[in-house]
Chains A and B, each alone.
Chain A
Amino acid sequence: MIQEQQWLLSLGTFLPLAGVLVMLFIPKKDEATAKGVALLTAIATLGVGIYTLVKFDYDQSEKLQFFTTNKWISPIKATYTIGLDGISLPLYILSMLITVLVMIYSWNHVPEPGNAKAFFILMLVLQTGMAGTFIAQDLILFFVFFEVVLLPMYFMIGVWGGENRQYASLKFFLYTMFGSALMLVAFIAMFIITKNNAADPEAANFSFQWFNENGPDVARNTSIWIFGGMFVGFAVKVPMFPFHTWLPDAHTQAPTQGSVILAAILLKLGTYGFVRIAIPFLPQAAKTWAPIIAVLAVIGIIYGALGCLAQTDMKRLIAFSSVAHMGFVMLGISTLTPLGINAALFGMVAHGLITGMLFFVAGSVKERYHTLEIKRLSGMLKQVPHLGWIMGFCAMASLGLPGLAGFWGEFPAILASWNPAQILTDPSMGNHEMLYRVLTVIASFGTVLAAGYLLWLYQRTAFGEPTGEFSGHGDDDHGHPDHGNTDIHDVNVFEWVAWTPLLVAILVFGVVPSLMFDVMDPAVQQLTSVFGK
């Protein structure tokens, strides 16, 4: 633990709330000021993030840095303990970056029914919840941050979403609540059991460190149950098959900004929970659960891909592709190997960048064409060439083209599943090698399907001639009444500013993946050391 600049993470996490406080005093009518304050706050927060990035000691990225611990809820032994290591750093920064970009995009894209002030406040609150989850080093603190994101996202979908927004937001909310209730019981049970096992029960507390040291001693059968509670909580958030059904609805109905934040960060809270909490704290249970997770992950890959092929709505297709991509992430995690978990972490960031970008594109398509129905779209490359090319770039990245970021999440995950961790193949404990190898083959097939649905999507929407409906001389029967050819313009300035960093990041991390792997690897090595090899 490196206890320098202990204020840094708290500042980065809570700065958005300061912005919210200021915004509360801005009258609702004065939208420009409200947006300005929000954007400035987000940029300042990102500034703190970049400073963190600079000050981070990359030679010791397995250690928690900027670590601090303070009293918080003494009677229940919960502390305000925060720190950042190589695993959380990329996600922490990503959350800040995404918030800024989403805000820039929102500048002239506040979805119906308006009220920019409330919309921007929600984004700032979300930012605090997301960043807080990644820095928390105490289980209760983690839980609180994990839940903070719930209501803002609920309102974002429910107020600013599409036609079915109320249904979708309720579904999102109830699924997540269900998961977190079980998760909380699991957390408490783990605490009480480790406390009763400990030589010195008074020393027990909710810090990650305590569970890292004492969690592995929980009796195997008990730990399997506790892991089960956490599994539900995290798996709903990821979402893993069969808990994924909220996702397509939520994504389809959410406003563009909500979809981007959901895809880029919120889904990662679940996978991060697996990597940071469930697996290291309960390694024995992880061993038992890993094959189950692997099977569900691969089902998710295939199911998500098949779901994509069946979609007629572009946004829904991207949502299903998220299920598939998160399947690769979970497959990587389920191998319990450094390679697999590195791949998973990389995949998390890559998916955040790429799918976030795809949702941006979908939002812009919707704004121009007032529809996302694939068969009504055509010839985007002719009509809006920049937008068409960007979409092509993202589709390539998403299907895992080498040289772009998506590749480094998928390929090593598949590779790792061929050789899962030793304890999973140990003959005396039940050899799962065969299972994993079968899964490897199926998962590879999933990448082919991914190429299939993405290229097919691209072919149908970008190639060919613009349909008569949108080319300016067709009839306007089923279109939006006030749209015409003039409405369909290419990428505008706000979009360029919001998108360029993501596009650059996708390319850079694709060409130089070691930028991220080097940061994560030491922490991952340390994490997986309990599993051998």
Chain B
Amino acid sequence: MIAFSSPIVDYHALAPELVLAAGLCLVLLVDLFVPDHRRWITGTISGFVLLGALLPIVTLAVWGDDVRDAIGGPGISGRYVVDNFALVLKALFLLAGYVVVLLSTHEMDEKSGYQGEYYVLLLSSVLGMVMMASSRDLISVFVALEFLSIPAYMMAAWKKRDRKSNEAGVKYYLLGVFASAVMLYGMSLLYGIAGSTQLTEIGKAVTLDGDKVGIQVLGVVFVIVGFAFKVSAVPFHTWAPDTYEGAPTPVTAFLSVASKAAGFVGLMIMVYLAFPLARDVYRPFMWVLAALTMTIGNLVALKQKNLVRMLAYSSVSQGGFILMALAMAYTNGSEESSLRAVIVYLIIYAATNLGAFAVIIAVARRTRSAEIASYGGLFTYAPGLTVMMTIFLASLAGIPPLGGWYAKFGAFRAAVDAGGGWGYSIAIIGAANAVVATAYYITVMREMWMKPVPENADTSSVKVPASLQAALAICGVATLAFGVVPGIIAKVGAITDLTGAFGG
């Protein structure tokens, strides 16, 4: 029995979380006191809060030690860690959150109201994600996951009078809590085996030999299933298209990028820290998930007539590529390349997909529609948006010199690096899927560039509000830069110190 001693808190390391927490209280308060027509100010404050939280990340990256316990002390150290891995992903979540704020500004101001509440929930969700990146313990992983999910359930149902939005929220909520329950059960099994909630301890205990192999396997599988819901891996993806379509578009952007990335971060932490010796369970399991996710996501995406729905399935299929890289962790020494591949993929995918949603929002302000047919002839009256959309779609398709190619490259490299039957077979499946995927991205391009403008459409030039322009600029520049000089992103992604992984 260890006597209780109060934990040592490293406030510098915790600063991003603290800024966010203070910021969301501030937004809540401001919301109470400003008149209705000036509620937009909550959005502005949220944007500043997110950028403000980035500052300590920069200082930590520049001056901090490589690894620090945000909350230390006997029996507590190593459970909430700030390392380079955490910093990079926190920065990603904050920036993605910032872009989502930019996307939301006009949508929320013009349409639904309840702006203050919306931004509070958004900030809470981002806070959950930021926590996820540092969590190295079952409890903090779970708390972070719930923290990021529960606000998202509400945000999905934000269009109160819209049936589809309500459906989106309910579906997401029900399947989400179900997944949490499954995961929690898996976690309890893991705890039972290891006698500790610390992931590295679990990693030592889950060795797949001894007399409790069955329980170990169940624990691993259940945890992966739980995260598979979060990252909408087939066959646990059924909520994604309906939720994405029904939710307000900025929320969809948030879910398909940030929330998904957070799921992958959680999965990554579990695989690298808790399951390094359980490869024979997670590799075949995730191999199958990856193959199904890529293939089914793609095949269904081919048939979509609604762009948001199509992007939903496309994001399912993109998740398959990430799973492909992750499934090959700890195969023939490929753990580093797959870790890098996943991180790089998440970052590039975030920039690209957010950009695509920015265009959708900008176009929908005019056409009031996300049907692919409504994009007919966009090139003739909104050439700028068309070119931007082309860039984002081509990047999603993985065509050089746009960011997406490097993401795909990394994923293939991880698979081929692992080699053997598992690696090569999934790489070939991935290659085939990369081709199928281009087919539906290209239908959108075709619509924009080659089809005539639909009848009765207003073809005066489209005005894009400043906040959307900023979002487009950020995403566009990032997508191009990541593709032309992938060195910048590769450097960020070249992380070898997911603390506790690789036996460190």
Binding site for B on A (CB under 8 A): 28, 71-76, 118, 140, 143-145, 147-148, 150-151, 154-155, 158-159, 165-166, 169-170, 173-174, 177-178, 181-182, 184-185, 188-189, 192
Contact = CB atoms under 8 A, between A and B. Distances in A.
Contacts of A147: 399-401, 405
A173 B398 CA distance: 13
B169 interface: no
B442 A170 contact: yes
A192 B416 contact: yes
Interface of B: 340, 379, 383, 390, 394, 397, 399-401, 405-406, 408-410, 412-413, 416-417, 419, 424, 427-428, 431-432, 434-435, 438-439, 442, 445-446, 449-450, 485-487, 490-491, 493-494
Nearest to B418: A192
A159 B450 contact: yes
Given A75-B490, A173-B442, A185-B428, A150 B399 contact: yes
A86 to B, nearest CB: 27
B440 to A, nearest CB: 11
A348 B408 CA distance: 32
Nearest to B451: A166
B416 A177 contact: no
B412 A185 contact: yes
B485 to A, nearest CB: 7
Contacts of A28: 383
B412 A188 contact: yes
A184 B407 CA distance: 13
Contact of B400 (A148, A154, A174): A148
B388 to A, nearest CB: 13
Contacts of A144: 400-401, 405
Dominant secondary structure of chain A at its interface with chain B: helix
Given A75-B491, A151-B399, A188 B435 contact: no
A218 to B, nearest CB: 13
B435 A177 contact: yes
Contacts of B485: 72-73
B446 A166 contact: yes
Given A147-B399, A166-B446, A182 B431 contact: yes
Which of A145, A177, A182 gathers the greatest number of chain B CB atoms within 10 Å?
A: A177
Given A177-B397, A181-B432, A192-B416, 4 more contacts: A144-B405, A166-B450, A185-B428, A188-B412
Contact of A181 (B394, B400, B434): B434
Nearest to B491: A75
B479 to A, nearest CB: 14
A76 B490 contact: yes
Given A73-B486, A147-B400, A151-B390, A188 B416 contact: yes
B435 A178 contact: yes
A471 to B, nearest CB: 36
B449 A158 contact: yes
B416 A174 contact: no
Nearest to B434: A181
A120 to B, nearest CB: 14
**Shortest beta-carbon contacts, A-B, top 9:** A75-B490, A181-B431, A144-B400, A147-B400, A178-B435, A188-B416, A181-B434, A73-B486, A177-B438
Contacts of B410: 76
B490 A158 contact: no
A182 to B, nearest CB: 6
14 contacts: A28-B383, A73-B486, A75-B494, A76-B486, A145-B400, A147-B401, A147-B405, A151-B390, A158-B450, A169-B446, A170-B446, A174-B435, A174-B438, A188-B427
A220 B442 CA distance: 38
A91 B250 CA distance: 48
Nearest to A132: B401
Contacts of B383: 28, 118
Contact of A155 (B340, B406, B427, B449): B449
Contact of A185 (B416, B438, B486, B493): B416
Contacts of A181: 431-432, 434-435
B173 to A, nearest CB: 38
B400 A76 contact: no
A154 B417 contact: no
Contacts of B412: 184-185, 188
A151 B427 CA distance: 24
A126 to B, nearest CB: 13
B493 A75 contact: yes
Contacts of A118: 379, 383
Contacts of B445: 154-155
Nearest to B377: A113
Given A144-B405, A147-B405, A159 B487 contact: no
